[in-house]
Structure 1
Amino acid sequence: MALVRWEPFREIETLQRQMNRLFDEFLPATTENHKLTSFMPLAEMEETGEAIHLRLEVPGMDAKDLNVEVSADSVSISGERKSESKTEEKGMTRTEFRYGKFQRVIPLPSRIQNDKVTAEYKDGILNLTLPKAEEEKNRVVKVSLG
């Protein structure tokens, strides 16, 4: 029979890891699991010869709660999300609230005319049409072959 040295600090570290794992699974506000409570609008970008089309998904928000700022080379969207869900089943009512501010800055692949941007917000989707600057439309790049 071999003797095994008892190390109390190793036991404490094991217990701490197990407790951290338990809290990470059940408390969504922890920093490692922040994606459950924070909100970042999803974006889709399409570039054509004339403009950049940007679609942002911001469900459950009113247009008045959004702030969109456009510079010549980036788009910044910010706002505050206030969400409430309520379910009733078997005589029980469950209500959940989500609040929080968000901001997302999206760099653009080409310079745009930020004074001619158009926006449409419908069904939780924000559509931005960002016309390209004239010098970007006519830009031709020479490619060397050796």
Structure 2
Amino acid sequence: MQSRWNPFEMSNGAVALGPLVLREFDQFFRDLPVRPSGSREFAPAADIYETAEGITLQVDLPGHDARSIEVKVENDTLTLKSERKRPESPKDEGTRRLERNFGVFTRSFVLPRTVDPSRVEARYENGVLTLSLPRREETKPRVIEVKVNG
């Protein structure tokens, strides 16, 4: 018996979702985080490095205005906040596709007890926010001299 070929039918007989359904499904989830203002909330990538001197935190914030970046330390929590404005499209042309993230970004990190929150420093260069979180003096490793008698 011959059966009609279905390009979406898998070898086990189940029917896979067609490209149109997948596209609509993808679009539905892509549109979920959109807020009424049209901006989106996102969380840029962060790298954390630890050394004997302290912790370095680097966060990718390309396209953010350095004056809009807020770094706040409260108790044992470091909070970063910034906003990347939606790009303006040329007046004669409509926007066809926006893949870059824009909107308000807020991210918090719990600081370990070894960090001295009063000495946190931040700098923004080439789209990367770098925070230096120095260790408290009493938590830094120290070398103890061994005295030899005789």
Structure 1 or 2: more strand by fraction: 1
Structure 1 residues 42 and 135 mapped into 2: Cα distance closer, same or farther (>3 Å)? same
Is residue 106 from structure 1 mapped to residue 115 from structure 2 by the alignment?
A: no
Structure 1 residues 83 and 99 mapped into 2: Cα distance closer, same or farther (>3 Å)? same
2:60 alignment partner in structure 1: 57
**Residue 83 of structure 1: SS of its match in structure 2?**
coil
Q: Percent identity?
A: 32
TM-score (norm. length: structure 2) = 0.60
Structure 1 or 2: more helix by fraction: 1
1:78 to 74, 78, 81: 81
Structure 1 residues 71 and 51 mapped into 2: Cα distance closer, same or farther (>3 Å)? farther
Cα RMSD, aligned residues only: 3.1
Report the count of equivalent residues.
114
Is residue 25 from structure 1 mapped to residue 26 from structure 2 by the alignment?
A: yes
2:147 alignment partner in structure 1: none
Displacement of 1:93 after TM fit? Answer: 3.3
Is residue 38 from structure 1 mapped to residue 27 from structure 2 by the alignment?
A: no
Kept in 2: contact 1:72–1:112 (CA 8 A): no
**Residue 31 of structure 2: SS of its match in structure 1?**
coil
Is residue 116 from structure 1 mapped to residue 136 from structure 2 by the alignment?
A: no
Can you list the C-alpha shifts for 1:35-92, whole angstroms capped at 9, x where unaligned? xx432121111111111111111110011111111246332101222131658xxxx8
Displacement of 1:138 after TM fit? Answer: 4.3
Q: 2:75 & 2:136 partners in 1: Cα distance? A: 8
Kept in 1: contact 2:53–2:135 (CA 8 A): yes
Q: 1:68 & 1:24 partners in 2: Cα distance? A: 37
TM-score (norm. length: structure 1) = 0.62
Structure 1 unmatched runs, 5+: 1-16, 32-36, 140-146
Q: 1:56 & 1:75 partners in 2: Cα distance? A: 13
